[in-house]
Amino acid sequence: MAPSAALPLSWSELEAFAGVEPDPLSGPATPRSHLRSFGRPESEVRVTLFRDHHAWCPYCQKVWLWLEERRVPYRVAKVTMFCYGEKEDWYRRRVPSGMLPAIELDGRLVTESDRILEVLEASFGSLGPGMNDPRVLPLRRLERLLFRAWCQWLCQPLGAGAAERARLAFDEVAARMAEALEATPGPFLLGDLSTADLVFVPYVERMSASLAYYKGYLLRRRHPAIDRWFAALEQRPAYLGTQSDFHTHVHDLPPQMGGCYAEASPERRDLSERIDHGPWPIVADGPDPETSEPPPADAAARAIGRVLRHRGVLVRRYAAAGDGFDAALRSALTHLAQGVDCPPPPGSAAALRTLRDRISVPRDMPLHAARRLRQALEHTAGLDPADPAAQGLPIPVQHRRDQDPAPFLAAAG
């Protein structure tokens, strides 16, 4: 029997459905942390990591993961990227180029992610074989080859022949990564998880997302060893805390990369549609190409908790789209909490879909929580009594100033 239409719960009623947030100080890795002590007194913390607010910077992810996996206590100072807002003056004074990441170690500033890892290794010991180990150096070169092959395929307009050559060239380098993974007994590159794996993580995650969306190419299906590598990473809380999803990456990459070019095939279009609007998983057959992690029982509760935390800013930000946004958001959360159909006020579908397209993983919530929230927003938009098909504001591709964190930071004081 179809669930009957319900009235939206109040904010205080929704509180009862909010999940418990992990402790940002000593729980599993989360982008919300400002200090990670790993059980050490705060006075012993020697490192500050400067990374971007939205966890979009791949080089920051590499250093962040290293600190988490190596369990080196650190503070976090978040900085705005040019593509989504104004760079902070205090950061410009320290790093005039504004580039991220940087660390401060015992008061000494270090920039450039590879140099940062070398300096961290010298102070705290490496994570398995170090950055300049003879087994790691060729893998680092392979990662750069893969990066270049990806850029050549993704980031320029190509005719059919050139696109096919770029696909083959990328696939050939990806096969070399798969061979390197298959050369050892476990799922990682050099036995246990090590620096070599972390060097590959940020961009291979972005390749998997962007090639599905823009080219219709499923990296994890095409190369089972890479799929096993991701699945092993997805067993690790440190990785899950930094892991993004396809939707977030495909829309944060264009301004960072100077454009991403989509191929015309129907398979590619189907995948893009599913990445943008669900339903998830994005394919109906076989394993989920985006994650091996099953949906946790608290996914909806985590999403509700995160929206409750930021509801003041969200309602103010979307109020311009219609007076009813407060009730519309509660309608979507009521659906998420109770599974009931809860029609929003007339005319709120566009604002609900604008929000649906701006949930960023892991910044706002983990992957499965984001899927649940996006689905609830879409479902509720479709119940708009006035215009259920109204679309949200398009996602810009030249910049992402629509994601300026300033109002959220102001509200947090």
Ligand X SMILES: N[C@@H](CCC(=O)N[C@@H](CS)C(=O)NCC(=O)O)C(=O)O
Instruction: Give least dist CB 113 to ligand X, A.
Output: 4
CA–CA distance, 374 with 280 (Å, rounded to integer) = 10
Residue of 8, 18, 54, 59 that binds ligand X (CB under 6 A): 59
Q: Given the complex with ligand X, which of 101 and 347 has the nearer CB atom?
A: 101
Both tokens assigned to 97? 């180029």
Helix (H) or strand (E) holding 36: strand 35-36
- When the beta carbons of 8 and 85 are compared against ligand X, the nearer one is 85
The C-alpha atoms of residue 275 and residue 208 are separated, in whole angstroms, by: 12
Determine if 65 is a binding residue for ligand X (CB under 6 A).
Answer: no
Q: In the stretch 36-55, what mask flags binding to ligand X with x, by CB under 6 A? A: --------------------
Residue 271 and residue 253: Cα distance in Å, rounded?
17
Candidate residues 14, 18, 76, 100; the one interacting with ligand X per rule CB under 6 A: 100
Length of the chain in residues, anyone? 413
What span, in angstroms and rounded, lies between the C-alpha atoms of 344 and 330?
8
Q: What angle do CA 170, 174, 176 make, to 5 degrees?
A: 120
Q: Are 243 and 367 contacting, i.e. CB atoms less than 8 angstroms apart?
A: yes
Q: From the CB of 98, what's the least distance to ligand X, in Å? A: 5
Interatomic CA distance for residues 201 and 188, integer angstroms: 11
CB of 401 to ligand X, least distance (A): 13
Name the DSSP class of 342: -
Q: Least distance to ligand X from the beta carbon of 205, Å?
A: 13
Cβ partners under 8 Å of residue 115, min gap 6: none
Identify residues 338-367 at the interface with ligand X (CB under 6 A). Answer: none
**Residue 57 contacts ligand X per CB under 6 A:** yes
CB 45 within 8 A of CB 74: yes
Residues binding ligand X: what is the number (CB under 6 A)? Answer: 13
- Verify binding: residue 289, ligand X, rule CB under 6 A: no
- 99 binds ligand X per the rule CB under 6 A: yes
Binding mask 104-143 for ligand X (x = CB under 6 A): --------xxx-----------------------------
Burial track 184-193 (b if 16+ CB lie within 10 A, e otherwise): eeebbbbeeb
Q: Which is nearer to ligand X, 100 or 173 (CB)?
A: 100
How far apart CA 143 and CA 136 sit, in angstroms, is: 11
In the bound state with ligand X, the residue whose beta carbon lies nearer, of 50 and 239, is 50
**Nearer Cβ to ligand X (98/281):** 98
| Residue carrying the six token digits 């990066």 | 147
Site string for ligand X, 137-176 (x = CB under 6 A): ----------------------------------------
Among 19, 58, 345, 347, binds ligand X (CB under 6 A): 58
Residue 253: which of 220, 270, 275 has the closest Cα? 275
Nearer to ligand X, 196 or 321 (CB): 196
At closest approach, how far in Å is the CB of 116 from ligand X? 7
Phi, psi (deg, nearest 5) at residue 188: -95, 180
Site map 69..98 versus ligand X, x via CB under 6 A:
------------xxx--------------x
Contacting positions for ligand X (CB under 6 A): 57-59, 81-83, 98-101, 112-114
